[in-house]
Structure 1
Amino acid sequence: MRVITFGTFDVFHIGHVNILERAKELGQHLIVGVSSDDLNIRKKGRPPVYTQYERMKIVSSLHCVDEVFLEESLELKGSYILDHKADLMVMGDDWEGKFDQFSDLCEVRYFPRTEGISTSMIIERVALDFS
């Protein structure tokens, strides 16, 4: 089974590791779409801390990840699923229901997020420590 997931993966943390390892447990091949810098700015209104190339290198270095590509548009998710021949798409439950329309292309599952950790929380904590 080929599993696909998507994310920014900025300020990489244990929650990222958890979702990627859980996704890999469901298949033989894990494909990760890393959001481009431009997509991240459109989604979150700010650039990521690490560039898209740095984030792609971090994600591709993980033992559980087999393939990484640059996700340039949310509107192309269906094409990414088809292009990478994914059987299953896994996302964090903060996206619950938002990708159900792709269930005609592959199975869609949502995982609970790791409690107490998020990139936004880390960035805010670091900003407070240095203010």
Structure 2
Amino acid sequence: MNKKEIEREFLLKIFLENLKGNKINFRNSSMFLTPFRQKNKEIISMLIRKGFIKRTRDGIKLTCKGRRTIKVVLCGGTFDILHPGHLLTLRKAKSLGDILVVVVSRDKIAEKIRGRKPYNDENKRLELVSALKIVDYALLGGENEKIYDIILKIRPDVVVLGYDQVHKEDEIKDFAVKNGLDVKVIRISEKLEGVKSSALLKDPDLTNQI
């Protein structure tokens, strides 16, 4: 990688670790960035001089200037049984930015929306989604079906909705504007027939193997 690519990689890693609640500093940088502390220090110092990051009491964080250099995509769902339809949506979402953050619905929210309890509980579903290479970070959703609290926490550049999700594009856009966020909302209309989790669960051969 050239110098600019390395700097950009550092910005992406710092943003992600901050999102996960990890505090990065010169001493622990080898845990989160590269194994080479001196190299980390040199690049971090350079990024500070350029105004892309800053040192705070809570560790190294991106400045507004640094945050504008990366594009964060947010999408969500129940992900009860992962199937090709989920992967299609996630791949398209990932193609729209640099970092893909996925919100996994809480059990009670999934049951309220879909009229049945998820086959896998929220922690298992979170573990499965987190294990996908295409997903940079996954987290559990809030205690209600709205995604506004998550939007305020993640502050994404793009929100991706699946073809069957109940969220309304205009409402999300209005919320973003009222909270000083510049968010593009995209609904993916493409779907794969016959691969919804509810349909798969009706297959006794499949459920016996899960």
TM-score normalised by L of structure 1: 0.88
Q: Does 1:107 align with 2:184?
A: yes
Larger relative contact order (C-alpha < 8 A, sep ≥ 6)? 1
Does the 8 Å contact 1:94/1:113 carry over to 2? no
Using the aligned pairs only, state the percent identity. 32
Residue 97 to residue 61, structure 1, CA distance change in 2 (3 Å):
closer
| CA distance in 2: counterparts of 1:5 and 1:29, whole angstroms | 11
Unaligned runs of 5+ residues in structure 2 are 1-70, 177-182
SS in 2 for 1:47: coil
Candidates 87, 91, 109, aligned match of 1:39: 109
CA apart distance, 1:96: 7.3
- Pairs aligned (count): 129
Greater fraction of residues in strand: 1
CA apart distance, 1:100: 2.4
Higher-Rg structure is: 2
CA apart distance, 1:24: 0.5
2:30 aligns with none
CA apart distance, 1:97: 6.8
Task: Give the CA RMSD over aligned residues.
Answer: 2.1
TM-score normalised by L of structure 2: 0.57
Q: Does 1:86 align with 2:156?
A: yes
| CA distance in 2: counterparts of 1:70 and 1:95, whole angstroms | 17
Does the 8 Å contact 1:35/1:71 carry over to 2? yes
2:39 aligns with none
Q: Does 1:12 align with 2:89?
A: no
| CA distance in 1: counterparts of 2:167 and 2:80, whole angstroms | 23
Unaligned runs of 5+ residues in structure 1 are none
| CA distance in 2: counterparts of 1:62 and 1:107, whole angstroms | 24
Write the deviation string for residues 77-105 of structure 1: whole angstroms up to 9, x where unpaired: 12211210111111112237723211242
Does the 8 Å contact 1:96/1:110 carry over to 2? no
CA apart distance, 1:114: 2.1
55-64 or 117-126, larger mean C-alpha shift:
117-126
